[in-house]
Amino acid sequence: MDQQSIICTVCPMGCQIHVAGEADVIQSVTGHTCPRGEAYARAEFIHPVRTLTTTVRIMNAAEPLLAVRTEKPVPKTKLFECMEVIQGAVFHAPVKTHQVLIEDLAGTGVNLIACTDSTHCICPAVSLNEPCKP
């Protein structure tokens, strides 16, 4: 039987929850102080997911990087694969908040979206690492 200790992130209490079970069958959940913590621990034990947040390179913009995130959580096992896809991507301004930048990121069925607007900047920027100086 697998045993896993999980720190709950649902509320500020940060309960240390202990889950015991095998594969998709959970035998016991202890250490939680609320029903939300138990539900979180069960989901984390069976199918852990994370919302991926990072930055991507963006050309012709006032800033060289754009904050992005996944629309929904992706399986924890796919995070590195998602980052490999994102790492090679370069986008062009303008970009709007919540605009889909990559559909079906790494075959997860989840889209990568922009967290903020990035306006087009017309200037002789020297490189991607330098902000545009209008």
For 70-95, what is each residue's pLDDT tens digit?
A: 999 999 999 999 999 999 999 999 99
Does residue 59 sit within a domain? Answer: yes
Based on the fold, state whether residues 61 and 103 are members of the same structural domain: yes
Q: Which residues constitute the domain of residue 21? A: 2-47
Residues 72 and 86 in one domain: yes
Domain membership of residue 39 (yes or no) is yes
- The pLDDT tens digits for 113-129 are 999 999 877 666 545 55
Same-domain pairing of 83 and 98: yes
- Is 23 inside any structural domain? yes
- Asked if residue 104 and residue 87 are part of one domain, the reply reads yes
Q: Are residues 43 and 57 in the same domain?
A: no
Map tokens 């045993």 to a residue. 3
- Give exposure, 96-132, as e/b (b: 16+ Cβ within 10 Å): eeebebbeebbebebbbbbeeebeebeeebeeeeeeb
pLDDT in the model for residue 22 = 92
Spatial CB neighbours of 27, under 8 Å, sequence gap ≥ 6 = 1, 20, 21
Length of the chain: 134
